[in-house]
Structure 1
Amino acid sequence: MNSVFGSVFWLLVTLGVLVTFHEFGHYWVARRCGVKVLRFSVGFGKAIWKRIGKDGTEYQVAMIPLGGYVKMLDAREGEVDPALAGQEFTAKPVWQRIAIVAAGPAFNLIFTLFAFWLMFLVGKPDIAPVVAATPKSIAAEAGVRTGDRILSVDGREVATLSDSMDAVVNALLGRDPLPMQVRGSDGATRNLVLPLNQLPAGQDIGQYLDELGLKPAPTPAVVGVVLPGKPASVGGMQGGDRIKSLNGTAVDSYEEFQRLVPQEAAKSPTLAIVVDRNGSTLPLSVTARMESLEGQPTNWVIGVQFTQREPAVLRYGPLKAIGASFEMTWNSAASTFNMIGKMLTGQASTKNLSGVIGIAQVANASANMGIGWFFSFLALVSLSLAILNLMPIPVLDGGWLLYYLIELVKGSPVSERAMMAGQYVGLVMLFTLMGLAFYNDIHRFLPS
């Protein structure tokens, strides 16, 4: 799928699912509290589809998909028919109004648990947490070696590369020394400490990762399959051969070999390849050809497939997945609050914020990686929406909850004047936050 079209499509799927679930929370609890719901809208602006339900509620999908709303019978918005006075929102006890407002974020939290449960159930394909370190980087100086398998990060066991890197990324926000246990390619277990406190403050996660220098271990340049009739087969290459050099240039990884083949073949199609076969060094001559393999663009190829990294799948049974989903939700929420706290105190850069463009790109990437990855993405975005909406910012659910909590304390509603002032302040804060996130998205496209 085209990346732009795919990003737009999966963004709409993501927003459609999460907004519908969030607004359904408000709708469902409002109905249980006896409040008349006038309209249930997914999206803002002009309706592109709508119908009237048997309950009298107007259900619609609107043109601008960046949110939604539930419109309830409310005396603040006009006169209410005396026959419907008992179904009007502001006439309800404050605890019911709190429940109605809190239901949206609560349903996002429920969806987060459900999406993580589905992720564990169907499985999230990944690779083993085998890493390397960029020479002279912080990770290298801390003792990370090529081929080390991460066993735990900050005392928490990890089973996949994504788990281990997520734990490192979360730790980067605090920039405190990070203990890590690894097992080397020699089988020996070592305890290391990544001195994250050496990183300067105010950078984004990408810059921190570059300076840290911790990365997935390169794929060994070991031939898995030689395609019959292709140049490598004609040249005598066999499965299991470890490529040592190409045209005199040492080859340390599959990625390095893939880079060198078209580069050297453009000079001369005949390639001098040295391989290690069962401990013996063999020079081979392979003549590359320009062709397309499996629908890929035409390029110089020799017709080999390499042994890939060790796979690792995060998958549990239905019962174990329940506990794992709660743990994942708790850890993700703690990381999110940690990041918010660090940004508010200036310890983490606001460059880490992403807007609609960034979300769309990640949505497309996760969907292309498999259904397990997409469930994980949906869970994390749903959790973020729950946390964002609970922030005490007027115009968000958290702002209304703040008003109602004040009402509980003082015994009377917050004045309309104070509410209006709060709404203006909330709009400024919200648009500032959205503008900053959008700026970050655009800035990531620009050359550094």
Structure 2
Amino acid sequence: MSDVFSSVFGLEGILLGTLVPFLFVLTVVVFVHEMGHYLVGRWCGIGVQAFSIGFGPELIGFNDRRGTRWKLCAVPLGGYVKFVGDMNATSAPDPSQVASLSEEERRVAFHTQPVWKRALTVFAGPAFNFILTIAVFAVMFGLYGRYVLEPVVAEVRPNSPAAVAGFQPGDRFLRVDGAKITNFGDVQRIVSGRAGDAIPFLVARGDREVTLTATPELSAQKDALGNDVKIAVIGVVNSQEVGQPRLIEYSPASAVTEAVRETWHVVERTGQFLSRFVVGREDRCQLGGPVRIADMAGKAAALGFEWLVQLVALLSVGIGILNLLPIPPLDGGHLAFYAVEAVKGRPVSERAMEAVYRVGFMLVLGFMGFVFWNDLFGC
């Protein structure tokens, strides 16, 4: 019995080893996202009725002096901010609720605000996710710096795309697909998501520059958390002797600048993956849902708190990107409606919004079902 109890409640057990890190990661990301909506909505003069982490039955909560209900609910897979006016799923006013609003409530209701205030409030959620990622990266760079390797080829794998393209040991990367290269990580970042694409490489070979073209191929590898991943490689290897690793230390200002740059790289890679995935050029098993996130959170927590915080940063930027897709009921869908309203000078008809919302809702449900299937059975 003691062995069973230990395996369940021990640090490496399901509850503390996986569930608690998962809830920590998800709660932080959701809280920051919803806080973006809340703070900007309040700044715009919009009344807030409820701020919820999770869905379903309320577990615990309280009312603040402004009358907002802050609560933690039973299903921790998301959250919401409910503004005055009791918006329905399409962010259109509910006529039955509007009729019951007082004059004061009408003044602060979401649907009575100018379109720019509504759009700014909606955009603030994903924006705060990006800000969280930048903040985490900035702290990590400021505390630990970053080790980099010189962008020089130490070895070319036989029969690899690099060997076919004519790479040689000693070649120094100058540009990859037109992008300037400063360290070996830059090469890996650009190549890793471009399987099947013919990429031009400008390298320095002795006292001359040579342009080579290689087509990366997928390679099964383990990531830092031990997960099986497939990334594109060309088959060149760096080494301690050739790469001459060095630590770059950052001042507070330069750490923020580097964090912004790194966050943008993550956005680029995510956008690149999604666009390639839609046309069938990416492995579907690279997409995961809550089960995989929980597994990754457990592995990250086992490596140390800083790893868990980095997972928070990566998940946060991913949530920000997904929420900006122009699909109702995501934030990007609402922003698309507001853009049409700004151009036409009047809101999109409720009938049209409802029709588009139904399609979008089915797409979101389909995507959620897809990643759950991947988590449990597909991969």
Q: TM-score, normalization: structure 1?
A: 0.66
The runs of 5 or more residues in structure 1 that have no matched partner are 221-308
Residue matched to 2:214: 195
Q: 1:89 aligns with which of 95, 110, 114?
A: 110
Residue matched to 2:12: 2
Shifted more, 129-138 versus 318-327: the winner is 129-138
Residue matched to 1:398: 332
1:176 and 2:187 aligned? no
SS in 1 for 2:193: helix
* Cα distance change, pair 160–442 in 1 and its aligned pair in 2 (3 A): farther
* CA distance in 1: counterparts of 2:154 and 2:299, whole angstroms: 22
* CA distance in 1: counterparts of 2:298 and 2:180, whole angstroms: 30
Residue matched to 2:136: 115
* Cα distance change, pair 30–443 in 1 and its aligned pair in 2 (3 A): same
Residue matched to 1:328: 262
* CA distance in 1: counterparts of 2:318 and 2:199, whole angstroms: 27
* Cα distance change, pair 199–36 in 1 and its aligned pair in 2 (3 A): closer
Q: Indicate if the aligned counterparts of 2:21 and 2:308 stay in contact, CA closer than 8 A.
A: no
Shift, 1:127, TM fit: 8.0
Counterpart of 1:195, as a letter, is A
1:48 and 2:59 aligned? yes
Q: 1:73 aligns with which of 84, 92, 95?
A: 84
Q: Indicate if the aligned counterparts of 2:194 and 2:216 stay in contact, CA closer than 8 A.
A: no
* Cα distance change, pair 365–34 in 1 and its aligned pair in 2 (3 A): same
The runs of 5 or more residues in structure 2 that have no matched partner are 1-10, 87-92, 220-227
Structure with the greater alpha carbon radius of gyration: 1
Residue matched to 2:366: 432
* Cα distance change, pair 440–190 in 1 and its aligned pair in 2 (3 A): farther
User: What pairs with 1:139-288 in structure 2 (closer than 5 Å)?
Assistant: 139=162, 141-142=164-165, 154=176, 155-157=179-181, 159=183, 165-172=188-195, 175-177=197-199, 179=201, 193=212, 195-196=214-215, 206-207=229-230, 209=232
SS in 1 for 2:24: helix
More helix by share: 2
Shifted more, 406-415 versus 363-372: the winner is 363-372
* CA distance in 2: counterparts of 1:440 and 1:115, whole angstroms: 29
Counterpart of 2:12, as a letter, is N
Q: Indicate if the aligned counterparts of 2:193 and 2:269 stay in contact, CA closer than 8 A.
A: yes
* Cα distance change, pair 408–128 in 1 and its aligned pair in 2 (3 A): closer
1:341 and 2:363 aligned? no
Shifted more, 30-39 versus 325-334: the winner is 325-334
* CA distance in 2: counterparts of 1:144 and 1:444, whole angstroms: 38
SS in 2 for 1:115: helix
SS in 1 for 2:192: helix
* CA distance in 2: counterparts of 1:354 and 1:215, whole angstroms: 30
Shift, 1:321, TM fit: 0.8
Q: Indicate if the aligned counterparts of 2:167 and 2:212 stay in contact, CA closer than 8 A.
A: no
* CA distance in 2: counterparts of 1:9 and 1:213, whole angstroms: 39
SS in 1 for 2:319: helix
Shift, 1:395, TM fit: 0.6
Task: Report how many residues are paired.
Answer: 345
* CA distance in 1: counterparts of 2:212 and 2:310, whole angstroms: 29
* CA distance in 2: counterparts of 1:425 and 1:181, whole angstroms: 49
Q: Indicate if the aligned counterparts of 1:143 and 1:192 stay in contact, CA closer than 8 A.
A: no
Q: Indicate if the aligned counterparts of 1:160 and 1:314 stay in contact, CA closer than 8 A.
A: no
Residue matched to 2:357: 423
Residue matched to 2:224: none
Q: Indicate if the aligned counterparts of 1:159 and 1:314 stay in contact, CA closer than 8 A.
A: no
1:319 and 2:338 aligned? no
Q: Indicate if the aligned counterparts of 1:153 and 1:168 stay in contact, CA closer than 8 A.
A: no
Shift, 1:102, TM fit: 1.1
* Cα distance change, pair 189–400 in 1 and its aligned pair in 2 (3 A): same
1:105 and 2:126 aligned? yes
* CA distance in 2: counterparts of 1:109 and 1:166, whole angstroms: 20
* CA distance in 2: counterparts of 1:177 and 1:157, whole angstroms: 14
Shift, 1:317, TM fit: 2.0
Q: Indicate if the aligned counterparts of 2:323 and 2:332 stay in contact, CA closer than 8 A.
A: yes
Q: Percent identity?
A: 32
* CA distance in 2: counterparts of 1:311 and 1:45, whole angstroms: 51
* Cα distance change, pair 50–388 in 1 and its aligned pair in 2 (3 A): same
* Cα distance change, pair 431–214 in 1 and its aligned pair in 2 (3 A): farther
Shift, 1:90, TM fit: 0.8
SS in 1 for 2:194: helix
Residue matched to 1:224: none
